[in-house]
Amino acid sequence: MQRRQFMAAAGTVALGTAASGLAAGQQTGEVSLVDWFDGVSNADGLVDWTGESEVTITVGSEGNGGAFAFDPPAVRIDPGTTVVWEWSGNGGVHDVAAEDGSFASEMQGETGATFEQTFEESGVVRYACNPHKSMGMRAALMVGDVSVTLAENAATATSSADEEAGPTGPTFDGWLEGVENYEGVVDRRGQESVTVTVGAQGNGGPYAFDPPAIRVDPGTTVVWEWAGTEGPYSVVDDTLGFASEHTTDVGTRYAMEFSGSGLSKYYCTDYRDRGMRGVVLVGDGPQEVMSKSALAAGGGLLALVSAPMLFGLREHLRDTTQD
């Protein structure tokens, strides 16, 4: 296990100028959406679309026993982001209506019809399709850094977009372009340890990291676990200077603790060109890769954990694997 210290880069991301709309239902502290998403069949996590000035959500996607779903149903965006809802043309007529009555679209069923709203303030926005609300056609927007719980005893957050839809989030200067299983940044904040599968299905075989892009809190330990059988696989970040073993052993684990804010772009040596690349976005920091020189200049030097701790962690991971 190694510990990496990031330093925040200068500059900010420019967000779109607001056109209309306010964030509904502003809250402080942890917000529970467990009851709201109860029975929503495609609510399997939170899609992180922060950093985007405009995002699109499909109305009438497959789910809840037919074309009665918003996709994705749970999205985190920045204040100032414009959300565009686009009708698929399936499932009859639908509308998009805020639970608190702050906005509502017309009833529409035509393919390609749209409705948009810009959200300026942080908070949780619950909305639904009135005709199909009881069937599970409900969704929510997390505007800003509001903390939410989507399901009992669950802190995972994954994209529910179609696998063939292609990337729906930032590609980090093209790093994730062509990564077949990338559908957005998975929000894993709130977890002390996060596991990424090495050798998951994708890119024409077991040649993917899953999930390929995650956002974590500073201090989180990311554990890469070997599962594929077409190795050898590795986990390498040239800029930050870390690299795992190059091995075929299923069950192998490689752990890294990240602190501060920043971005790690990593890859598998053998299958990088196939699309076996990944991203760890740490905290609310920049989406630029931090260089070693920038780290040193800012005082955020790379530091290894002591050898005894390293050995102890490896023993712990080995025991966990055997269990």
Apex CA 119: angle with CA 115 and CA 122, to 5°?
Answer: 150
Same domain, 215 and 66: no
Render pLDDT for 121-143 as a digit per residue (tens, 0 to 9): 999 999 999 999 999 999 999 99
DSSP per residue over 7-59, as a string? -PPS--PPPPPP-S----S---S-EE-TTTTTT-TT--S-EE-TT-SEEEEEE
> Is 167 inside any structural domain?
yes
> Is 96 inside any structural domain?
yes
DSSP per residue over 295-322, as a string? HHHTT---EEPPHHHHHHHHHHHHHHHH
Render pLDDT for 264-312 as a digit per residue (tens, 0 to 9): 899 999 999 999 999 998 876 544 443 333 333 333 323 322 222 233 3
Whole-model pTM?
A: 0.46
Same domain, 105 and 167: no
Same domain, 199 and 312: yes
Residues 74, 46 contacting (CB under 8 angstroms): yes
Confidence class for position 118, pLDDT limits 50, 70, 90: very high
Structure tokens at 29: 């502290």
Q: How many CA atoms lie within 13 A of 60 on its CB side?
A: 19
DSSP 130: G
Give the mean model confidence (pLDDT) for residues 196-221.
Answer: 92
**The pLDDT value given to residue 124:** 95
Same domain, 143 and 173: no
Same domain, 120 and 235: no
Residues 70, 83 contacting (CB under 8 angstroms): no
> Is 22 inside any structural domain?
no
Give the mean model confidence (pLDDT) for residues 49-55.
Answer: 90
The residue segments making up the domain with residue 267 are 162-322
Same domain, 226 and 144: no
Q: What is the CATH number of the domain that holds 227?
A: 2.60.40.420
Q: Of the candidates 149, 170, 202, which is a domain's last residue?
A: 149
Give the mean model confidence (pLDDT) for residues 178-195.
Answer: 88
User: Between residues 24 and 172, which one has the greater pLDDT?
Assistant: 172
Same domain, 106 and 229: no
> Is 154 inside any structural domain?
no
> Is 23 inside any structural domain?
no
Same domain, 174 and 288: yes
CA 286 to chain CA mean position, Å: 15
Please say if the pLDDT value at position 158 is more than 50: no
What average pLDDT does the structure give for the chain?
A: 76
> Is 12 inside any structural domain?
no
**The pLDDT value given to residue 206:** 94
**The pLDDT value given to residue 285:** 52
Structure tokens at 185: 């940044």
Number of domains, the chain:
2
Same domain, 132 and 184: no
> Is 216 inside any structural domain?
yes
Same domain, 303 and 272: yes
Give the mean model confidence (pLDDT) for residues 156-160.
Answer: 36
> Is 39 inside any structural domain?
yes
Coil vs helix vs strand at 57 = strand
Closest CA to 236 of 203, 270, 205: 270
Q: Of the candidates 149, 175, 197, which is a domain's last residue?
A: 149
**The pLDDT value given to residue 29:** 58
Please say if the pLDDT value at position 6 is more than 50: no
CA distance 281 to 216: 6
Q: Of the candidates 102, 119, 149, which is a domain's last residue?
A: 149
Same domain, 55 and 183: no
* Exposed e or buried b per residue across 178-202, where buried means at least 16 C-beta atoms within 10 angstroms of its C-beta: ebbbbbbbbbbbebeebbbbbbbbb
Structure tokens at 61: 């996607």
Same domain, 172 and 304: yes
Please say if the pLDDT value at position 43 is more than 60: yes
